[in-house]
Amino acid sequence: MSFKGKFKPKNPGKYKGDPTNIIYRSSWEFKLLTILDAHPDVIEYASEELIIQYISPLDNKVHRYFPDFWVKKKNKEGQLETVVIEVKPKYQTVQPEKKQKATKRYIKEVSTWMVNSAKWKAANQYCDQRDWKFMIMTENELFGKNV
């Protein structure tokens, strides 16, 4: 079952964009929105407001990537930093193991991995040019799982 909806921030002034139109597409995104909205070190945040162009390895064309979150926050040293965050299940962050037989599922996993890798490479380059950080958050970071 899908878990999606509109997030209603308790601190709408922290949201960069329209705070009445914050969409979450998973319970994991909802959890992170709740954390960002409440965390005292988060100065400003946005959800799917940033656009990064990338070239898809599937069709070799330019596409638009909307990372899940853009966050301006104070780091442990009290300095401001900007972080772009993608929320993904851990299994989607590692290259699929090669299979003897190319099933539909395996082909889809490889295609997803190839596109995600291209997006993340573009995001890393985009962030490096701005002295920002890019990170992928999985269930390990969101729920403290050591899987």
- Residue 40's alpha-carbon distances to 28, 43, 145, in angstroms, are 20, 8, 24
Q: Is 68 a catalytic residue?
A: yes
Catalytic residue among 16, 72, 73, 88: 88
Residue 106 to residues 64, 120, 143, Cα–Cα distance (Å): 25, 21, 27
CB atoms within 10 A of CB 117: 14
Per the annotation, the verdict on 145 as an active-site residue is no
77 is catalytic: no
Catalytic residue, chosen from 37, 68, 86, 119, is: 68
Structure tokens at 33: 């929105």
- The DSSP secondary structure of 79-97, one letter per residue, reads -EEEEEEEE--GGGGSPPP
**Looking at the annotation, which residues are catalytic?**
29, 68, 88
